[in-house]
Amino acid sequence: MSRGLRWGLIGASTIASEHMIGAMRANGGEVVAVLSSDKARGEAYAGKHNIGRATTALADLVESSDIDAVYISTTNELHREQLMAAAAAGRHVLCEKPLALNLADARAMVAAASANGVVMATNHHLRNAATHRAMRAAIASGRIGRPLFARVFHAVYLPPHLQGWRITAPGAGGGVILDITVHDADTLRFVLGDEPVSVCAMTMKGVMGVAGLEDGVMGVVRFQGGVLAQFHDAFTTRYATTGFEVHGEEGSLIGTDCMTQQAKGEVVLRNASGVAALPLTHENLYQRSVRLFQDAVAGEGTPAATGTDGVRSLAMALATVEAARSGHEVAIAPEA
Ligand code: NDP
């Protein structure tokens, strides 16, 4: 197993406190410092999570010689500048999704990581789920024949402690599409092993979102290989279940309770032989993300989702925003 990394947190965030700090430590990593825009909040956060120090200066954090890698989990409009500074300082970067608010910025981030010779990953946690990995393997080995359709059920309820910038701040990259559809994009690409080419969508607004931000979306995306995938994402449904299905000529894969941050869910294969559960070995999604990242830093393999994966998922999300705005089918930027 690769060596645990010495981490700097860029952002005193909820996702770091609820999932990522634990995942870093579970992999033998050390959380050395945290960057916050607010001195008192940063110090309180460091104290609460036993982090060595807090700073408000990005340069201090990324240039610290006792840090190997940074994890960026600030609001989305800040990711680009922070990643550029970290890459320029030679720090490996695990960055939250969406990478940025537009494709030019996201592409520039991947280019900067490459130019500086650092590992860059996007924290698309759902690729790490045993459910999605089992579905990908089943499709790749032909168990459902030619895939025809996929359906993603990812309508959830945004818990009260997260009802902030996601529903109030367009400038921070709020809205359900950049928050949740971007994960659907990555999971569809991963499970199908295919690239999306165009999308249609309609949004709902005003149930929870303000400032014109969408809080629900339904859409259909067409893949290069011909698959049509339907997705339903929301912040506003308290009682819906999640799921991910792929229907092929020879069988259907039905994943339930799997569009989640938890290591849970199940997948059944329905075909001419009946219904059979796929064997799954669940693993903490975020621990696997950190493990593959630090392996990549050690020169072993690639992260679960690379920077390029982050660009491609953003391309589908941005095309979804435009499709809903225009009422037209929108092409998804190729070579994203
Ligand atoms: P938070 O709102 O918890 O944190 C974002 C920023 O808000 C922080 O960097 C912090 O700024 C500021 N902040 C946090 N708490 C407070 C507070 N009490 N008062 C004032 N400001 C505060 O966001 P999330 O953790 O939900 O999301 C952060 C990023 O992670 C986003 O890019 C999001 O898309 C992504 N994410 C990814 C998930 C995944 O599973 N891959 C899941 C959830 C989020 P400062 O650092 O300056 O103190």
Task: Tell whether ligand 1 has an atom less than 6 A from the beta carbon of residue 14.
Answer: yes
Sequence-distant (6+) residues with CB within 8 A of 273 are none
State the distance from the centre of ligand 1 to the C-alpha of 101, rounded, in angstroms.
Answer: 16
On the 0-12 / 13-18 / 19+ scale of CB atoms within 10 A, 224 is: exposed
- 6-124 belongs to CATH 3.40.50.720: yes
Question: Tens digit of pLDDT for each residue in 16-42?
Answer: 999 999 999 999 999 999 999 999 999
Q: How far apart are CA 49 and CA 36, in angstroms?
A: 14
For helices 182-192 and 307-326, the axis angle rounded to 10 degrees is: 120
Question: Tens digit of pLDDT for each residue in 269-308?
Answer: 999 999 999 999 999 999 999 999 999 999 999 999 999 9
Q: How far apart are CA 70 and CA 82, in angstroms?
A: 10
Strands, sheet with 274-277, edge to edge from the N-terminal-most edge strand = 274-277, 266-271, 251-256, 243-248, 147-155, 228-234, 214-223, 196-205, 330-331
Task: Write down the CATH number for the domain with range 126-286+314-331.
Answer: 3.30.360.10
Q: How far apart are CA 151 and CA 220, in angstroms?
A: 9
Q: Is the pTM of this model over 0.85?
A: yes
**Residue 10 CA, closest ligand 1 atom number:** 46
Which pLDDT value is given to residue 334? 75
Residue nearest to atom 38 of ligand 1 (CA): 15
Query: Closest Cα partner for 2 from 298, 311, 302?
Result: 298
Q: How far apart are CA 104 and CA 317, in angstroms?
A: 14
Query: Closest Cα partner for 121 from 297, 254, 282?
Result: 297
State the distance from the centre of ligand 1 to the C-alpha of 270, rounded, in angstroms.
Answer: 40
Specify whether the CB–CB gap between 330 and 219 falls below 8 A.
Answer: no
Task: Tell whether ligand 1 has an atom less than 6 A from the beta carbon of residue 125.
Answer: yes
On the 0-12 / 13-18 / 19+ scale of CB atoms within 10 A, 1 is: exposed
Question: Tens digit of pLDDT for each residue in 185-221?
Answer: 999 999 999 999 999 999 999 999 998 999 999 999 9
Task: Give me the residue spans of the domains in the chain.
Answer: 6-124, 126-286+314-331
Q: How far apart are CA 176 and CA 336, in angstroms?
A: 21
State the distance from the centre of ligand 1 to the C-alpha of 123, rounded, in angstroms.
Answer: 14
Q: How far apart are CA 122 and CA 305, in angstroms?
A: 5
